[in-house]
Amino acid sequence: MEKLKLIYDKPVAYEEAGPDTEEIWNEALPIGSGSIGAMVFGGVCKEKLQLNEDTIWYGRGGRNRVNKKARDHYLEVRKLLEKGEIEKAQSLAKDTLMPVPDQQRNYSTAGEVWLTFHEEEAFHHYKRCLDLNEAVVTLEYSLKDRSYQREYFASAVHRIIAIHQEAGEGETLNGCIALSNFRKNVEAITVHPGGLLSLTGVEGGGGCKYCIMAAIKKEGGTVEIYRDQIRIKDTDSFTVYLTIRSDFYQDNPVSWCMNTLNTVLQLPYEQVKQAHMLEYKSYFGRVEFTLKTTEDKEHLPVPMRLERIKRGEKDLGLIAAYFQFGRYLLISSSRPGSQPANLQGIWNRLEHPAWGSKYTININTEMNYWPAETCNLSECHMPLFDLIRRMLPNGEKVARDMYGLSGFVAHHNTDLFGDCAPQDSVMSSTIWPLGAAWLCLHIWNHYEYTQDVFFLREHMVLLKQASRFLTEYLFENQHGELVTGPSISPENTYIHSNGQSGQLCIGPSMDTEIIKDLFTACLKAAKITECEDEFTQRIETLLPCLPSLSVGKHGQLMEWAEDYEEAEPGHRHISHLYALYPSEQITFEKTPELMKAARVTLEKRLANGGGHTGWSRAWIIHMWARLRDGEKAGENVEALLTQSTYPNLFDRHPPFQIDGNLGGTSGIAEMLLQCMDHTLYFLPALPKDWSEGSVTGLKAKGAITVSLSWKSGQLKQGRLVVERGGRVAFRKPDSIGNIETDPKVHREQEGSYIVCDCIKPYEVQLTS
């Protein structure tokens, strides 16, 4: 297994900067177990851990925020838009469609704890390291002539955060953990039997009750508890265990934390650590990615490596590490039984963070899960499906109350409680009724990669209900086509032919593209699960009535139903290129003319300053990959690192948003392997700089695992494991001379395409 260590040569200067300094926070290193996480600052004598738990959200659910006037006025808004009276339409929408109140709930921080390990004195030989292979942060340093080592990790097995400190040779340690908290919502700090110390709080707005609990396991010495501190004296080594729980799960947080810590305290530290690493590696170890380079820079601090890339140096090792860092973040923030990764995963420092650190579902949440299937982390996708199920009854109520329609609708945000009403009162984003539809496409995506029919059958109601709303929301335009409205092209502004600027519109291209995919997925899924009915027959009749994608006067893919000019040609959203990625509606094989238009669209947007945010840059990597332009894709990977990455490799929107990290990982995977119309394309967008390398364990649709190695930019070896049997098709690279598989596998060749088929699992070996 390749070495994947992110090195830092100094601690974070948090004491000088203060608690609210964003730049300083983005030098700390993240650890997480799916449900709990921490930022490790790496202090030598005094250390701070900033803590999060994924259900600590402001307030509670159950509110009906739908504007009571919406149901009686949205059709009037539609008519005004049809007549080109944009200003009147938006004025009416502001009064009658915007939610009351306009804010969903926001994610919050659990607070922080402080640890003391030594008396203040000068240190040297400092090294802080995040080992991506083991999900352990280590700290090495020297005080005078003695060397010390510390370890941090968050264990999904034991549901704890561990901090382990070893004494230097020939001495003992004194230490302390303090549950002092900068938050003002603390109810009590309590000492419990067995040396446990808890902090309990109530989140604002009548939100959850939660508990942070700490305990120390020691080798020798004594432990004493005073006020909000656990103090340890004269020990050879000690381990601090932390856990956090809220009452979101309807249990008693204090009792849960006590049981969790009492269980782990019975175990040797090494056993706890090994169990954590073994479980983590069962996810992380599925994929390896190496780019051969003549210069090993792994020993250099990450900030120095980023600066060198900015100066024009190449660092292929850091690109490979960045890819794996995204997988690390997804594993650490989204596990079966946890909540899905929000706008910041689980790492949030503020009570009221930017955009509420919610689930923004007009791109950001979807992007969080783009690497889940391709990068062999299907289980990490599951929390998203749990959230969609939680949204369903709320979305059905919003459909009735806001539109007088049946089915399941959500707009451009949701929260822990599955709120589906519009969010904010912002004309460019709020009234977009396609959020549930796009999320539900992840159900079909998961099925395509796993071939799990039981899963598909269990989630069929979501596909149908999201489709049902749209069958009723669609209406016939003057051309006899079925379109949406009022809606938007997130979050862009157009200039109508009459000179009025607007955001609300009729029939934006992205809506049509998502609806085509959703209706198609619903029909296929109904056939597979044998639940076809009158409703699916209706979808089948509506599908051909949706508009076709069109090319505008500049040769670009049209973003709106009419060929409008853009008020902001360099806008960060390029929503209509959804058809290029993540959809497969635009491909070289099926729609070469639309591929030309997609390229014109992308070039025009970038020429005017687009791609300036982290997640937008990540999406652009996918677009260049689908356009099979490896050089442009590679340039944007480097731009992501140089322009949109903090010292700890967090994505810089700014502020930190995890979607850029996870989208960057997915984009790199898309450069190495593409699967469209269930046909595989190997190394479709390989930059010249990536001329030699290998990747193992990527996933393709059809439950296929793919491993590739290449040299001089040409595929040398490949291995396809078709785990459930069935058909696999791939484009044969010119460099491949031999294709071997089981004699029972039926194989045929059509031009440059190879098709294999067998009812049982099988392998295909490719060699040059």
Mean pLDDT of 48-66: 96
Q: Is the pLDDT of residue 403 over 80?
A: yes
In-domain check, residue 83:
no
- Of 649, 677, 705, which residue constitutes the final position of a domain? 677
Q: Are residues 157 and 214 in the same domain?
A: yes
Q: Are residues 203 and 328 in the same domain?
A: no
Distance CA 343, CA 52 (A): 14
**Tell me, what's the pLDDT at 20?**
54
pLDDT tens digits, one per residue of 280-329:
999 999 999 999 998 889 999 999 999 999 999 999 999 999 999 999 99
Mean pLDDT score of the chain, rounded to an integer?
Answer: 95
pLDDT tens digits, one per residue of 611-647:
889 999 999 999 999 999 999 999 999 999 999 999 9
- Which amino acid does the sequence have at 632? K
What's the number of domains the chain is made of? Answer: 3
**Tell me, what's the pLDDT at 612?**
84
If DSSP states are collapsed to H, E and C, what string results for 412-460? CEECCCCCCCCCCCCCCCCCCCCHHHHHHHHHHHHHHHHCCHHHHHHCH
* Number of alpha carbons in the 13 Å side-chain half-sphere of residue 695: 25
What does the block give as tokens for 453?
A: 């029919």
Closest CA to 721 of 750, 668, 761: 761
CATH of the domain at 741: 2.60.40.1180
Q: Is the pLDDT of residue 18 over 70?
A: no
Chain CA centroid to CA 232, Å: 40
**Tell me, what's the pLDDT at 358?**
97
306 near 641, Cβ under 8 Å?
yes
Residues in contact with 212: Cβ distance below 8 Å, sequence separation at least 6, in sequence order: 51, 110, 111, 113, 179, 181, 198, 199, 200, 201, 242, 243, 244, 257
**Tell me, what's the pLDDT at 659?**
98
Q: Are residues 717 and 671 in the same domain?
A: no
Q: Are residues 126 and 158 in the same domain?
A: yes
Of 178-192, 699-713, 752-766, the one with minimum mean pLDDT is 178-192
Distance CA 332, CA 448 (A): 24
Mean pLDDT of 20-28: 82
In-domain check, residue 165:
yes
CATH of the domain at 191: 2.70.98.50
Q: Is the pLDDT of residue 19 over 60?
A: no
In-domain check, residue 63:
no
Q: Are residues 590 and 627 in the same domain?
A: yes
pLDDT tens digits, one per residue of 573-600:
999 999 999 999 999 999 999 999 999 9
If DSSP states are collapsed to H, E and C, what string results for 30-67? EEECCCEEEEECCCCCEEEEEEEECCCECCCCCCCCCC
**Tell me, what's the pLDDT at 17?**
44
Residue 503 phi, psi dihedral angles, 5° rounding: -115, -45
Q: Are residues 223 and 371 in the same domain?
A: no
Q: Are residues 643 and 733 in the same domain?
A: no
- Of 617, 643, 677, which residue constitutes the final position of a domain? 677
44 near 170, Cβ under 8 Å?
no
118 near 47, Cβ under 8 Å?
no
pLDDT tier at 184 (50, 70, 90 boundaries)?
confident
**Tell me, what's the pLDDT at 168?**
77
Q: Are residues 332 and 227 in the same domain?
A: no
Q: Are residues 207 and 348 in the same domain?
A: no
Supply the pTM of this predicted model. Answer: 0.97
**Tell me, what's the pLDDT at 1?**
60
% of the chain with per-residue pLDDT over 90: 92
Q: Are residues 276 and 342 in the same domain?
A: no
**Tell me, what's the pLDDT at 760?**
96
Mean pLDDT of 79-86: 97
Q: Are residues 170 and 208 in the same domain?
A: yes
In-domain check, residue 102:
no
Closest CA to 319 of 747, 602, 25, 641: 641
Mean pLDDT of 390-401: 98
In-domain check, residue 76:
no
Helix (H, G, I), strand (E, B) or coil at 83: coil
Q: Which domain holds residue 130?
A: 5-57+108-285
290: exposed, middle or buried (Cβ count in 10 Å: 0-12, 13-18, 19+): middle
**Tell me, what's the pLDDT at 14?**
66
pLDDT tens digits, one per residue of 456-489:
999 999 999 999 999 999 999 999 999 999 999 9
Helix (H, G, I), strand (E, B) or coil at 613: coil
Percent of the chain that is helix, strand, coil (3-state, to 5): 35, 25, 40
In-domain check, residue 657:
yes
**Tell me, what's the pLDDT at 611?**
83
In-domain check, residue 87:
no
In-domain check, residue 741:
yes
- Of 677, 708, 743, which residue constitutes the final position of a domain? 677
Q: Are residues 237 and 339 in the same domain?
A: no
Beta bridge partners of 711: 714
